A = this chain, B = another copy of it.
Amino acid sequence: MGDLFWPGDERAGDHFTSAAFLRAMVAVEADWVGRELPVPDDVDRLAREAESGGNPVIPLVGLLREAVDDPMVHRGLTSQDVVDSALMRMARDAVADLRRSLGSVAERLAELAEAHRNTPMVARTLTQHAVPTTFGFRVAAWLTAVLDAYDDLGRLSFPEQLGGAAGTRAALVELGRDLTDDVPRWHTTRAPVTRLGDAMVGCTDACARIANDVLVLSRPEVGELAEGSGGGSSTMPGKANPTLSVLVRRAALTTPQLAATLHLAAAQQVDDRADGGWHAEWAPLRDLVRRTLVAVSQTDDLVAGLRVDADRMASTLADAGDAVLAEQRTMAELAGHDPAPTYLGDARQHVDDVVDRARRTVKEAP
């Protein structure tokens, strides 16, 4: 069902829904027992029955054994093996989509930066006019943020779990399963989860960095940017709101605390399975991944539709007048020469460098 509390949620598709979670858990069980297993269709019942054992695996195993009458179903596994492996399978799929989406943002930004490599605008620091810059240089900053986030996504791994009751694989050995490989066991060491969470926040940080600029620069008094098609108002005809930017910014206000929750849960790990620290991960991780998918997709649309008013940029810079060149005069005097005709440093070279980085990064992505 659509989520009225998070407009745009449908952009995350089926990633990390309860239905997807169920399918992923059944797939883990099926792979383990080496046979096809049916996906129960009563998610509500499973959800209700999940409470008594604290997780959905116990009622699921009951249904699966009932359905296929195979006593080997789930044998040697523990609930956490199934839940963690299912979470990682969902995460792997979500991150694959996310990289495609963020890669698209990067490509669009690379084009935008090149197109505006020489578009002059006034730089702003602490809200006030500073010195001249170019819009391409600004876009290069957006692109840097996106590429940093993209790099972090590429470093993630999605290990499954296979430990049995207490991680020792005792039941597996007793059952005679072959266990020659060295598989990481992270039942109580949650770096795979916290790294995933941190990387998600890196993405929303980058998207918000763009949205913030659009929100400032599309204020009517500034007017240098505009969203492709603004959102309407329920009462004011003709108003065009930068809705995508607003929604992206919204996401980034919520995700850091979700990732912090994953770390707090990691820091509560104890014994061979934690008494709450594990259970606290699932919903925040779901929300974190879905909101990141939504925010990146919205940013992709935002950048695709962005309207740049280069004339307005030029006239604002011209109006800013002498003040934005005061620094240059000081420097020229110190250097003992007349001020150079432009005061843009290596801005254009920097744009080229960042665009190059983008092209290499996205092309080399697996």
Contacts and interface: CB of A to CB of B under 8 A. Distances in A.
A171 B21 contact: no
A364 interface: no
Contact of A45 (B2, B52, B179, B194): B2
Contact of A79 (B175, B234, B277): B234
A341 B1 CA distance: 47
Given A137-B168, A165-B131, A166-B125, A283 B268 contact: no
Contacts of A213: 270-271
Interface string A233-277: 111111111110111111111111111110111111111111111
Nearest to A252: B267
Given A71-B334, A123-B168, A170-B132, A2 B43 contact: yes
Residue from A22, A48, A208 whose CB has the most chain B CB atoms within 10 Å: A208
Interface in A165-216: 165-176, 179, 182, 184-191, 194-195, 198, 201-202, 204-206, 208-209, 211-213, 215-216
Residue from A164, A275, A344 whose CB has the most chain B CB atoms within 10 Å: A275
Contacts of A331: 75-76, 171, 174-175
Nearest to A343: B170
Interface stretch (A30-38, A98-106, A303-311, A346-354): A346-354
A320 interface: yes
A220 B320 contact: yes
Interface string A138-180: 1001001100110010010000000011111111111110010
A279 interface: yes
Contacts of A257: 257-258, 260-261, 264
B194 A236 contact: no
A293 to B, nearest CB: 14
Given A125-B166, A236-B326, A268-B212, A241 B53 contact: yes
Contacts of A167: 123, 133, 137, 141
Contact of A46 (B2, B176, B253, B266): B2
Interface residues of A, number: 178
A234 B18 contact: no
A264 B256 contact: yes
B205 A190 contact: yes
A248 B276 CA distance: 8
Residue from A1, A4, A141 whose CB has the most chain B CB atoms within 10 Å: A4
Interface in A14-53: 16, 18-19, 21-22, 43-48, 50-53
A299 interface: no
A258 B255 CA distance: 10
A182 B349 CA distance: 9
A69 B236 CA distance: 20
A89 interface: no
A3 to B, nearest CB: 6
Contact of A124 (B5, B9, B272): B272
A13 interface: no
Contact of A172 (B249, B264, B345): B345
Q: Which are the 7 A-B pairs with shortest beta-carbon distances?
A: A2-B47, A123-B166, A249-B276, A169-B345, A257-B257, A125-B273, A256-B263
14 contacts: A1-B44, A2-B46, A78-B125, A127-B275, A130-B165, A174-B331, A174-B332, A176-B335, A182-B353, A194-B201, A195-B202, A212-B268, A253-B264, A260-B260
